[in-house]
Structure 1
Amino acid sequence: MYGNLGENQIKELIDSAKCSIFFIDEDQRVTLSDIGSKQAIRAFANAKGATVEEYVLSSQFRCSGSDGYVAWLDNALEIRPTAHPLLDTSDYEFKVFDSPQAMHAAIEQKNHGNKARVVAGYCWPWLSKKDPKASDIVIGDDYARQWNLDQDGSLWIIAENSIEQVGCIHTCQGLEVDYIGVIIGPDLVVRNGQVVTSPHDRDKHDKSIRGWKKLMKEQPALAQQETDLIIKNTYRTLMTRGMKGCFLYCTDPETAQYFAGRLAGDSHD
C-alpha cells in the first residue's frame, strides 16, 4: 500500500467489501512498485472465494476519443502490434519537431485557457529543487527549462505559469490538457526500426525504476522486461495527456525520423 502502510491494498479492499470494482489500465503501470494487475486481483479474489467478472470497455474518451491514435501509439512504441502503422493527423493533431525550443513555443501558442503543457521522460536531474536558479532540462544551446516547481506539487499541471516549466510522469498521470508537448529523452531510442529502451539513461534519482540494478544482478531477463515496459508505458502515458493534440521532440534524431515516418501526410516541423 502507499507509503508501505498496511499489507496489500488489493487484498484489503477485497477483504473489506462485499463487491469491489477495479478499473484497470495495465498500460499505465509506470513504476516497478505499482500493483493492481489483473493477475494479482484474481489471485486475491480466488483466495477469498470471491467470484470474478471481467469486462472490457469498448472505447475511451482520452485524446478526443481517438482510438486510432492510441492504437497507433501502441504500435509505434512496440507495446503491442495493431492495425495502425500510420497515423491520420486529421483526427488528432500530432507533430514532430526538430527543435525543443520550437516545440515548446508551439505548445505555448496552444495554451488557451491554461490547457497546454510540456512534459518529458525523467532523464535529467532535478537541480532546481535545491537551487531555484538552476536549469534542469538543458538541450543544445537554446533550450534550458526547469522541472515542475516543487511548491506546485500535484497541482503543477493547472498552475498558472507552469507552461514555463516541464512536467514529469508524476505530475500529469491521470490528468489531461488540450495540447501536450512531449520530450523523449535518451531512455527511449529507435535503432534500425526497433524501439530500444535504456534504464541507464534515466536520472539516478528516478524512483519509478528504483531497484532495477539489484534486479538486473539477480534476474537480468526479468529486469530488462520490466524496465522496458515501464519506460514504454511512461511515454505512452505522457503522449496521451493531450485531448486535442501531441507535439513531439526527440533528443535522438533517428527516433524523431521514426515517428515522423509513421505519419500520414506531412506533420514534421
Structure 2
Amino acid sequence: IFDEAQRMTVNNIIHGGEVADISVFFYDDSQILGKKEEGTRDNFIKYLENAHEINLKGLYRNGNDYGEFVNNLLDGKPWKYPEYYGLKSFPTIQDLLTSLRNKSDAGNKTALVASFTEAKGDLKNTDSPDNVRIGYPLPSGFDLYKNSGITIKWLMDPKKEYAPFWVGGQSNMLEKCASVYGSQGFEADYIGLIWGRDLVWRNGKWALGDDCKDFEIKKLFRAGKEGDTKAYAKSIELLINRYRILMTRGIHGTYIFCEDEETSRHIEKCCNP
C-alpha cells in the first residue's frame, strides 16, 4: 500500500506495481507539490497493468462541504460557506494567537502552519536567523512583525521535532510553525494558518506575490515573475495545491492571518460572509 502516491516518479509507479500481486496507490494529484512529482491519474493508468480505479469522495477530516468550500475558494469560484466548520480570518497575528490559546485552554489541540515564505530554514543550525518565520528581523527583510515582540520559528527536524510537536503537545505552545512539508493531518483540532506573500489576490484572481522560499518551486516562481507565462501558471497551480493542504489540517477549525493586506480583505470576506 502506497500513501501520498502523487509524489511518486514514473519509475516509482512502475516498481510499485511490480512488487506485489496487488498494489494499492492512494493519491491526490491536487496535492502535487513539485515538477518532479509524477503521480497523476494519467500516469497510473498508463504504467500499471490491469489498473482498477476507486474514487474516494470528500474529506474525512473536516467534511465534504468544507472541502468543496476550499476547492472553490482556491479555484476562484463562488463558494458556499460551511456553517459547521470553525473558519475565521483575523486582522492581526496577535488576534490569531489569542484565539488559538483560548482553544488550547479549553482542551483542544492547536498548531501553527505557514506558507514557505520569508525564511528558508536551516536544519544544520537551529539558532540560525533563517529559522525565524514570524518575528523581526526576518531574513527576507519583511518588517510586518517589527515591535510585535513575537518570535516563531520553523519546525525543522523530522526525527527530533515532529513527534514532540504533533504528538507530545508542543504545538499548543505556539512557538513553532510547520511548513506544508511538516503539516500533519489528524493531530490538531484547530490550525492557525499564516498566509504568506507567495499567493496573493489581485484583480479578482490569484497571482504570484513578492516572496517564495519553497525549495521545490522558488526557481519556477522566479521565472514566472520574470515573464515566463508557463512558469507563472505552473507556480500558481502548485501554490494553490499547497494552500489546499494547509487549509485542511484542522479537524474542527482553521484560523487564518494573511500577511498581504489585499489578500487579507478577500479571505475575510470569504470566511465571514
SS in 1 for 2:151: strand
Identical residues among aligned pairs (%): 26
1:40 alignment counterpart: 43
In structure 1, how many angstroms separate the alpha carbons of the residues matched to 2:208 and 2:221? 15
2:261 maps to amino acid: P
Superposition deviation, residue 15 in structure 1:
2.1
Superposition deviation, residue 188 in structure 1:
1.1
2:99 alignment counterpart: 106
Q: Does the 8 Å contact 1:31/1:207 carry over to 2?
A: no
> Relative contact order (alpha carbons < 8 A, sep ≥ 6): 1 or 2 greater?
1
Candidates 72, 75, 78, aligned match of 1:75: 72
Superposition deviation, residue 114 in structure 1:
6.5
Residues 99 and 10 (structure 1), Cα distance of their counterparts in 2 relative to 1, 3 Å cut: same
Per the normalisation by structure 1, the TM-score is 0.80
In the TM superposition, 1:1-269 aligns within 5 A as 8-45=11-48, 50-63=49-62, 65=63, 67-78=64-75, 81=77, 85-88=79-82, 90-111=83-104, 115-126=109-120, 129=123, 130=125, 132=127, 134=129, 135-138=132-135, 139-140=144-145, 141-142=147-148, 143-150=150-157, 152-155=160-163, 156-162=165-171, 163-198=174-209, 201-203=211-213, 206-209=214-217, 211-212=219-220, 220-263=228-271, 265=273
Superposition deviation, residue 136 in structure 1:
3.2
Superposition deviation, residue 75 in structure 1:
1.1
Q: Does the 8 Å contact 1:72/1:85 carry over to 2?
A: yes
Per the normalisation by structure 2, the TM-score is 0.79
Q: Does the 8 Å contact 2:166/2:184 carry over to 1?
A: no
In structure 2, how many angstroms separate the alpha carbons of the residues matched to 1:8 and 1:153? 31
Q: Does the 8 Å contact 1:104/1:118 carry over to 2?
A: no
Query: What is the total number of aligned residue pairs between the two structures?
Result: 248
Superposition deviation, residue 211 in structure 1:
5.0
Superposition deviation, residue 22 in structure 1:
1.4
Gap runs ≥5 in structure 2: 136-143
In structure 1, how many angstroms separate the alpha carbons of the residues matched to 2:223 and 2:50? 34
In structure 1, how many angstroms separate the alpha carbons of the residues matched to 2:248 and 2:42? 25
Superposition deviation, residue 26 in structure 1:
1.4
Q: Does the 8 Å contact 1:157/1:171 carry over to 2?
A: no
Task: Give per-residue Cα distances to partners, 1:82-134, cap 9 Å, x unaligned.
Answer: xx52413x310111000012212211222255721011001021467525274
Superposition deviation, residue 231 in structure 1:
0.8
Residues 214 and 93 (structure 1), Cα distance of their counterparts in 2 relative to 1, 3 Å cut: closer
Q: Does the 8 Å contact 1:186/1:251 carry over to 2?
A: yes
In structure 2, how many angstroms separate the alpha carbons of the residues matched to 1:238 and 1:213? 19
2:65 maps to amino acid: G
Q: Does the 8 Å contact 1:180/1:245 carry over to 2?
A: yes
List structure 1 segments (4+ residues) > 3 angstroms apart after TM superposition: 126-129, 133-136, 149-154, 173-176, 213-217, 219-222
Q: Does the 8 Å contact 1:173/1:237 carry over to 2?
A: no
In structure 1, how many angstroms separate the alpha carbons of the residues matched to 2:89 and 2:37? 31
Query: What do you get for the CA RMSD once the two structures are aligned?
Result: 3.0
Task: Give per-residue Cα distances to partners, 1:111-160, cap 9 Å, x unaligned.
Answer: 25572101100102146752527433223231431111536344333343
In structure 2, how many angstroms separate the alpha carbons of the residues matched to 1:175 and 1:11? 30
2:114 maps to amino acid: A
